[in-house]
Amino acid sequence: MKLQSILQTVRTNAFCALAFAFLADMVSLPLSAVETGANYSGVARTSLPTGEPLVVGDALETFVPHAGNTSGNARFQIVDTVGPEFDKAWRVDTLRDTGSAAAIELRALTGRPVAKGDIGMIRFFARSRGSEDETGTARVLLVIRRNGVDWNSSYEGDFPLTRAWQEILVPFTWAQAFAPGEAAIMMRFGFKRQSVEIGGISAIHYGRSLELSALPRTRFSYAGREPGAQWRKEAMERIEKIRKGRIGLRVTDSDGRPLEDATVTIEQTRSAFEWGTALQMERLVVDSPDNLRYREVLQELFNAASTENDLKWPAWQGDWGRASIREQTLTGLRWLHDRGFHTRGHVLVWPGRKNLPREVQALLDTPRQGEIPSLVLDHIRAIARATKGLLEEWDVLNEPFTNHDLMDLFGNEIMVTWFRVAREELPHARLFLNDFSNHDATTDLAHVEHFERTARYLLEHHAPLDGLGLQAHFNGRPNAPENILAVLDRYQREFHLPVRVTEFDVWTSDEELQADFTRDFLILMFSHPSVIGVQFWGFWEGRHWRPSAAMYREDWSEKPSAGVYKDLVLRRWRSEFKAKTDTQGRWEGRGFFGDYRVTVTSGTHTHVSTFSLNSGTSPERTIKVPR
């Protein structure tokens, strides 16, 4: 329906009352839960600096339902209301839980050019008119990015809404330049059944006239952030039980006689848990001041790593304009291997049309399309052989929820073949299924269920699936840790497979929130018995797909999240002891699993040795001190 027709249709109170009654019936809410009158609480507009319009015309009318997303799932109306200095609002009724926030959306296109690094501001007022959620809270997700793509956003934020009008202030920095009409501002509502009103919309362009920090913002939090949260206490208790083991030492002289009162210093040098990051191989191969610092921080913080883009099929083929990428990538992988990093490959098959190399894309929808399955297998074999001995695991299949073109064309059984061929070439590597938005069933049930169906299909068809990869990218309103814990428990009950967080970051300019959630996410993951590692998706702002998500700023100064990481991973979850042996030359304690260095001093004699402490083994180790 055209906008002017909507405006004329919904002006009468009688129609509005009818719409409310229909919504109450559709979402199984009592009529008392859906407000039928104005409820303006008196919240005032925040005074903002003067800027230029980011959209053309009235901002409210610029937003329109996105074509193709509304049928049967939602109702969109512009209604009369009483709000803070506005009297019209969009009402979006979510009539069906679609499992995807993007399925129900209002979208506006920008009306002016913007440059990378320019500052913008979105201000709107919103309230819930009713929700199926037991808390009564409705939600809206704001996304700002290039129109028509689902990556490289300039902003993403998820806002909880109560019955009273709430002002939402969102200052942001443009991640790239756009011509007029190239970028979209999207408000998404595809959650549980709910009714939301949005009004008083402003879209402002500031360019470089002020700093982002000079603008007011609506700050957010997450359930379970509070000090003393019960989930955190329970997680810490689990860590003590599942991540530690007994260390027993017996110190003797060279003749086997126990050495009493010998000084024993035990230092953990490496964690058994794999703390990693995605890397650009260029940073390990090409010398520059930043790259040298990059390697220093890498070796200080992490014991595991993967390629970020270098092993993706188009990059490996040279489609991205670097003919020497293979040699550079292999050199970087050897650098990691020589320094003892656990290394993983990303990715063998990313089965979406847009993620295939150009030569394969050119065969789609042609008489030669049937050649594609063999080309995929040839690629798996070739890249596995080229990197043999340098990688300990691979993402065999990446993001099948949104990237399924090859399965649509050739059937789901092709996924099983990919895993089987990978096992033939890589008999000792762990083989993973990897996807995003599969860590919280309360915010993306469809993704979680699809991930489960895919894993189940692979296992039922005897694919050698060794692990589950969870991409865990969070925006300015992170998920509740207890919701993530519920999904980990769910996967463990059904699959009993190791889980790795393959792509973790917290994308927000609120550095305090970023640090707190980084702390809680690491605690949660380290506390779950199925999780074998957490991999950040980069750590330095100077080369990060979402710069504000990095732990280190471009000048290499640490953000609070880096301090949190170092405190937990390098201090609190590392064991160190200094003690004396008893009359039998023995000492016993409990330490975190990993590698250790032991220095024993008895009289004038000192001996240094090493050992590894692993889950399920706690033998007494005898250390002989030569005289």
According to the model, what pLDDT value does residue 50 have?
A: 95
How big is the chain by its Cα radius of gyration, in Å? 28
Give the pLDDT confidence score for residue 67 in this predicted structure. 54
Residue with tokens 């490959």: 345
What is the rounded CA–CA span in Å between residue 209 and residue 171?
13
Vertex 352: Cα angle to 349 and 355 (nearest 5) = 75
Q: What is the mean pLDDT of the chain?
A: 90
Q: Binning pLDDT at 50, 70 and 90, where does residue 133 land?
A: low
Handedness of CA 172, 61, 126, 28 (dihedral sign): negative
Hey, what amino acid is at 594?
A: G
Confidence of residue 5 (pLDDT cuts 50, 70, 90): very low
Provide the pLDDT for residue 395. Answer: 98
**Partners of residue 159 on adjacent β-strands:** 140
**How high is the pLDDT of residue 24?**
38
- Tell me the pairing of strands 194-207 and 183-188: unpaired
Distance CA 63, CA 75 (A): 14
pLDDT of 71 above 70: no
Query: Which tops the pLDDT comparison, 433 or 220?
Result: 433
The answer to whether residues 127 and 163 touch, using CB atoms and an 8 Å cutoff, is yes
> DSSP E strands: which ranges in 484-585?
499-506, 531-536, 576-580
More confidently predicted of 30 and 309: 309
User: What helix, strand, coil percent values describe the chain, rounded to 5?
Assistant: 30, 30, 35
Mean pLDDT of 15-28: 36
Per-residue pLDDT at 136:
59
Pull the structure tokens for residue 588.
């016993």
Quick one: pLDDT band at residue 149, thresholds 50, 70, 90?
confident
- List the structure tokens of 88: 């019209």
Read off the pLDDT of residues 151-175 as tens digits, 9 standing for 90 and up. 789 998 878 788 889 999 999 999 9
Q: How confident is the model at residue 619 (pLDDT cuts 50, 70, 90)?
A: confident
The per-type count for the chain, helices as H runs and strands as E runs, is 16, 26
Look-up of token digits 């440059």: 115
Residues 6+ apart with CB under 8 A from 25: none
Calculate helix-pair angle for 445-460, 413-425, nearest 10 degrees. Answer: 60
Q: Tens digit of pLDDT for each residue in 352-391? A: 999 999 999 999 999 999 999 999 999 999 999 999 999 9
What are residue 512's phi and psi, to 5 degrees?
A: -70, -45
| Closest C-alpha to 153, from 134, 135, 178, 131 | 178
What band does 191 get if pLDDT is binned at 50, 70 and 90? confident
Confidence class for position 13, pLDDT limits 50, 70, 90: very low
Structure-block tokens of residue 146: 């290039």
- Is the pLDDT at 90 greater than 80? The verdict is yes
Q: Which superfamily does 3-214 belong to? A: Galactose-binding domain-like (2.60.120.260)
pLDDT band at 334 (very low <50, low <70, confident <90, very high): very high
Whether the CB-CB separation of 239 and 526 falls below 8 Å is answered with yes
Q: Quick check: helix, strand or coil at residue 189?
A: coil
Question: Is 70 exceeded by the pLDDT of residue 323?
Answer: no
For residue 133 the two structure tokens come to: 């959620």
Type of residue at 156 = E
Label the pairing between strands 86-94 and 194-207.
antiparallel
Rounded mean pLDDT of 189-194?
89
CATH 2.60.120.260 in the chain is located at 3-214
pLDDT of residue 2: 37
272 SS3 class: coil
pLDDT tens, residue by residue, 386-441: 999 999 999 999 999 999 999 999 999 999 999 999 999 999 999 999 999 999 99
Minimum mean pLDDT among 15-24, 83-92, 442-451, 491-500: which range? 15-24
**274-572 has which fold?**
TIM Barrel (3.20.20)
The CATH homologous superfamily of the domain defined by 222-273+581-627: Carboxypeptidase-like, regulatory domain (2.60.40.1120)
pLDDT of residue 38: 40
Residue type, position 187, single letter: M
Which tokens in the block code for residue 155?
């902003």
Looking at the chain, which residues constitute the CATH 2.60.40.1120 domain(s)? 222-273+581-627
Q: What is the pLDDT averaged over residues 561-581?
A: 97
Of 142, 144, 141, 140, nearest in space to 119 by CA: 144
φ, ψ of residue 434 to 5 degrees: the values are -130, 135
Give start-end residues of each CATH 3.20.20.80 domain in the chain.
Answer: 274-572
SS (H, E, C) 24-80: HHHCCCCHHHCCCCCCCCCCCCCCCCCCEECCCCCHHHHCEECCCCCCCCEEEEEEE
The answer to whether the beta carbons of residues 98 and 112 sit under 8 Å apart is no
pLDDT at 70: 56
Per-residue confidence (pLDDT) for residue 221, from 0 to 100: 87
Given a cut of 60, whether residue 40 has pLDDT beyond it is no
Question: Pick the residue with more confidence: 8 or 442?
Answer: 442
pLDDT of 1 > 80? The answer is no
Q: How far is CA 446 from CA 439, 440, 587, in A?
A: 11, 10, 53
Dihedral of the alpha carbons of 340, 342, 343, 346, in degrees to the nearest 10: -160
- The residue assigned the tokens 């064991």 is 575
- Residue 79 — very low, low, confident or very high, per pLDDT cuts 50/70/90? very high
pLDDT of residue 35: 34
| ∠ Cα 315 317 320 (to 5°) | 40
Bridge partners of 161, per DSSP, are: 138
**pLDDT in the model for residue 42:** 62
User: Is it the case that residue 283 has pLDDT exceeding 90?
Assistant: yes
The whole-number average pLDDT for the span 535-556 is 94
User: Taking 50 as the threshold, does the pLDDT of residue 8 lie above it?
Assistant: no
Give whole-number Cα distances, 93 to 33, 40, 373, 579, in Å: 14, 20, 44, 66
Interacting residues of 233 by C-beta distance below 8 A, sequence separation 6+: none
Least confident residue range of 54-63, 318-327, 361-370, 574-583: 318-327
